[in-house]
Structure 1
């Protein structure tokens, strides 16, 4: 077991319930103090616009059959729509804004086909309601909690695209958690494959914006890019673990995904093709067996997709 320093390596290896040497999987825990004081309200309009834009893009991608004429130029129309909404929100008193009327006033900008208009409106109204629940003014800690809750679900799929990550979790420690603690702290803990530098570079590449958004609440955060600053910051705030848990301590993320992919394809073969094969008459059985088994093996030979449905217990991402 190769850790981030010699102590980590020695202490971790004693306690993992595995035999032999596995050089890929490592645990990381980094703890950084959250900035004290009030969060700058001047940042909020830009954040609102990005949140609306990214959330609507993700929602749009879940809908099937959207015409190409609608999709052409949609991003530009959505930018205009989110800019207009947010400007109106910050020009009005918070208590006077009615999300439904706000969305209806500017909805035509999006040019949504009538078939999908009601679905879009419901989504937008609910999302604007979430935005308006944000307290203003607020502390850096309050903002981190708010933005984390609002964006958490949207990041699950992105982080699971990483080829190195087994598990990741963010959580907050404060005086209520540990009496005498000097201010609130953000804790990031993760199990990953390979070397720390390559892992953090992968993280910055796949999830740069959200990484900056979360760690940007911490004192001294240099930004996810260039990755050298990110790596240095994590090493300075790292607390090597004496023991950690991994669902599959003898397998890389790629090996786990491949095994799950083969399991799913084998299950489909057993449920769909095998019954057909067993029903064949004896004279045609050999040819049928070749046909079905060949098809099954060809499926197994296909590359495994990173977006494959994966168990929540395998690749966990939590707050």
Structure 2
């Protein structure tokens, strides 16, 4: 199902000449709306990884990132919350959610990374910003990133999350909750997950505040699943196998691209390089800027 979803994202993003990004986002929302819960579960398993077939910093990558917000919002609904993805705007959370039964609300931010990206720092996760985006009306802030892309040992993001009570959740956690049909009700709340960092902070020493606390979070999530720690570890391992399989797909794509490039003539290779670096587009933008300056000078005269 993820491949179908990806094809749809690429199809919509290729229509950028006749549609604004806001219109493209609406098209993705309408597509996600008609998907079944089972299809959403399938997409959640892989949405955390940006495919290598999507060019970096492209309109398709931007739309894929936005689609992860839409998928996360749908996942929250499946967990029994009211939720919506926010239209593009600066300095705000991407997803809002509210408990139907337990009178709390949260802001959330969905993160996706390429497997080929190695350098990730606290700026990539925006934990402090997410805390600020909750404002005064939302109790919780939740970051959802790929589990195995979080720093494995020590990082400032863990200290910030503990200090600011930001829940560092993973797509794998969301996936396991959905697969086990976990849903809020009048007698069942997910609130302990959203406030997990606050709970973990109570038990943490200042000297170890930067250490990875995901194992402690796993215990909290496993309780909501009604699973033992060993069972949860096995479930998480199954998620890892899905990622390994996806890795093979990404490697195959890269290898095929290498073979395609090897077949190019010198002229074709030069053309592809110029296209890839977008140098001609940059020249056009610079010329347009210069022309506007010259127009301003003539108007002043």
TM range (shorter): under 0.3
Structure of greater Rg = 1
Alignment TM-score, normalising by the size of structure 2:
0.21
> Which has the bigger relative contact order, CA under 8 A and spacing at least 6?
1
